[in-house]
Chains A and B, each alone.
Chain A
């Protein structure tokens, strides 16, 4: 055997040894003290039954005229400008503080406030809050606040001489958000140094810098509506909420009322499929199928010359991309089926018209997969707020508060997960029903088109249940 072949074989064997030593079920990040038990088979079967029954009942019983396509928003009260400025300042201060903590504090992940803020409060709590209270992130968005402040100052100082921003390219659409969500999910699920506080700080600053550049090129409003990955991501969830904050006032609308108004610009479908796909990969990567595939992928990449850590990262990258493509393919299949109904519409037009129906499903996935992370690691804020740098200080007197792992039982977590997926399914179904009524002139065509969308949603919801169940994880 040649020397090169010998080296390759040793690398492969080394990878196998490392792979065997790696956790059978890898947790998404080192912040997890307690992982969920998989949903027992009987509850998974019952949940699937609920989904099917609810779907058929929904088809039979839902309203016959579109109700959500043109909604009435009631203005409740105005918000003084002072509050806007204060919220923005608070956001900037919080951002600066946690980034500083990432650099200056201990580099142990659970003792430094930054990883918990990023993975629990930022990535998980804000979607939960947005779905209920509307787009709260927009008020506290630090880079948006800086952009607005800079714009205001430039107008005061430069007046009419300030250059016009470039028009935001239509073909760019929401693609920056797709990339942002994909990269964040990659860092959260695949990157070996996902919990490293100083690296997270660097990434946060880089992201903020990119946002500032984008805002200066295309204008603050245009960029933040399309190019700010996190603003767009949280804004999608906020469309579910009955509270709508705009034009410096609070408006109320029906629940889900914000979803049909989603304009399907370039990248919108890809964004929703990426959201569902990355959360799916989070669940999938903890299951037995993935853990039996990973050693083979690792061997392959190790044979290309990557070391053990990079081979694992490469395997995870493949997994996350394949998952997103699979979700996109499922959606696409449903759309292609829908094309057979009524007059011939382009797949592109149909995919865009129904993209918003995936928002409740994406929300359901986030709730189902991350509820317990919020319920348990979310309590860590009590200890971390007192000792953000992990240096032994006790600013608020709560530095030794331990996380209570028993306030929600394992059974309680299961019910939250199943309920989230079922509710998300029903909401998506209602949105698809409403849009079909508006899109198809004949009621019979509207009903037939819904069978396809229903099939897609049953597939997504069943996938969501399956990923959490004992079927996938034992």
Chain B
């Protein structure tokens, strides 16, 4: 195969991928993503009997990220374990992370990443209000017992 044909194939492939990216990120990547399927972009490579490639991006409809529930999420800790399993807290970057922990055991609650420590008394409760500056998934745990009580997720805005 001549080097011109090679370059033409590579260039065509790059164009296909860039277009596919624009379509995929446009339909799936916006923060308030709506439920619609993406269109598939097809293209054929040039000359010399090369196989046709189809770059399709059809992501499953993305779920809308609901903002923090109107009522404050409460984690109930019973006997140093989270009632109902490890709770999932979801926020968007730029929001305020707000939740409350009610515990029947005295301990120190540590939010990793944000590195926030707050003590809770036996039978008491403590509220957290942290500006969501860091994206990612973070462990919220009882420091002394070493048990995870929640998973905090901060999505990109």
Q: Which residues of chain B are near A42, meaning CB under 8 Å?
A: 24-25, 27-29, 38, 57, 59, 62
Q: Does A50 contact B (CB under 8 A)?
A: yes
Q: Which residues of chain A are near B82, meaning CB under 8 Å?
A: 21
B137 to chain A, nearest CB (A): 4
- The distance in angstroms between the C-alpha atoms of A49 and B112, with both chains bound, is 35
Please pick, from B13, B137, B151, the residue contacting A57 in the complex, using a CB distance under 8 A. Answer: B13
Q: Does B74 contact A (CB under 8 A)?
A: no
Q: Does B98 contact A (CB under 8 A)?
A: no
Contact B13–A54 (Cβ < 8 Å): yes
- The distance in angstroms between the C-alpha atoms of A194 and B133, with both chains bound, is 30
Instruction: Say yes or no: A56-B51 contact (C-beta < 8 A), given A25-B151, A34-B136.
Output: yes
Chain A positions 266 through 279: 1 when the CB is less than 8 Å from some CB of chain B, otherwise 0:
00000000000000
Q: Which residues of chain A are near B28, meaning CB under 8 Å?
A: 40-43, 45
- The distance in angstroms between the C-alpha atoms of A147 and B79, with both chains bound, is 53
- The distance in angstroms between the C-alpha atoms of A467 and B156, with both chains bound, is 20
Q: For window 25-50 of chain A, which residues contact chain B by CB distance below 8 Å?
A: 25, 27, 32-37, 40-46, 49-50
Contact A60–B1 (Cβ < 8 Å): yes
Contact A406–B50 (Cβ < 8 Å): no
A54 to chain B, nearest CB (A): 7
Q: Which residues of chain B are near A54, meaning CB under 8 Å?
A: 13
Chain B positions 131 through 157: 1 when the CB is less than 8 Å from some CB of chain A, otherwise 0:
001111111000000011001010110
Q: Which residues of chain B are near A45, meaning CB under 8 Å?
A: 24, 28, 56-59
Q: Which residues of chain B are near A40, meaning CB under 8 Å?
A: 28-29, 59, 62
Q: Does B69 contact A (CB under 8 A)?
A: no
Contact B51–A46 (Cβ < 8 Å): no
Instruction: Give how many B residues have a beta carbon under 8 Å from the other chain's beta carbons.
Output: 48
Q: Which residues of chain B are near A17, meaning CB under 8 Å?
A: 81
Contact A409–B17 (Cβ < 8 Å): no
- The distance in angstroms between the C-alpha atoms of A42 and B139, with both chains bound, is 26
Q: Which residues of chain A are near B51, meaning CB under 8 Å?
A: 56, 60
A36 to chain B, nearest CB (A): 7
- The distance in angstroms between the C-alpha atoms of A22 and B148, with both chains bound, is 7
Q: Which residues of chain B are near A52, meaning CB under 8 Å?
A: 53, 55
Q: For window 1-43 of chain B, which residues contact chain A by CB distance below 8 Å?
A: 1, 6, 9-10, 13, 16-17, 20-21, 24-25, 27-29, 38
Contact B156–A53 (Cβ < 8 Å): no
Q: Which residues of chain A are near B48, meaning CB under 8 Å?
A: 60
Give the residue name and chain of the A residue nearest to B61 (CB). Answer: A41
- The distance in angstroms between the C-alpha atoms of A20 and B149, with both chains bound, is 11
A413 to chain B, nearest CB (A): 9
- The distance in angstroms between the C-alpha atoms of A27 and B56, with both chains bound, is 33
Contact A33–B112 (Cβ < 8 Å): yes
Q: Does B88 contact A (CB under 8 A)?
A: yes
* Other A-B pairs beyond A35-B136, A41-B60, 5, CB < 8 Å: A25-B151, A33-B138, A34-B112, A46-B20, A46-B24
7 tightest A-B CB contacts, nearest first: A42-B28, A410-B135, A41-B59, A35-B137, A34-B136, A34-B113, A21-B81
A interface vs B, CB < 8 Å? 17, 20-25, 27, 32-37, 40-46, 49-50, 52-54, 56-57, 60-61, 64, 402, 405-406, 409-411
B interface vs A, CB < 8 Å? 1, 6, 9-10, 13, 16-17, 20-21, 24-25, 27-29, 38, 45, 48, 50-51, 53, 55-60, 62, 81-82, 85-86, 88, 112-113, 115, 133-139, 147-148, 151, 153, 155-156
Q: List 23 A-B contacts (CB under 8 A).
A: A21-B85, A22-B86, A22-B148, A24-B85, A27-B139, A35-B137, A36-B136, A37-B135, A37-B153, A40-B59, A42-B28, A45-B24, A45-B28, A45-B58, A46-B20, A56-B50, A57-B10, A60-B9, A60-B45, A61-B9, A64-B1, A406-B134, A410-B156
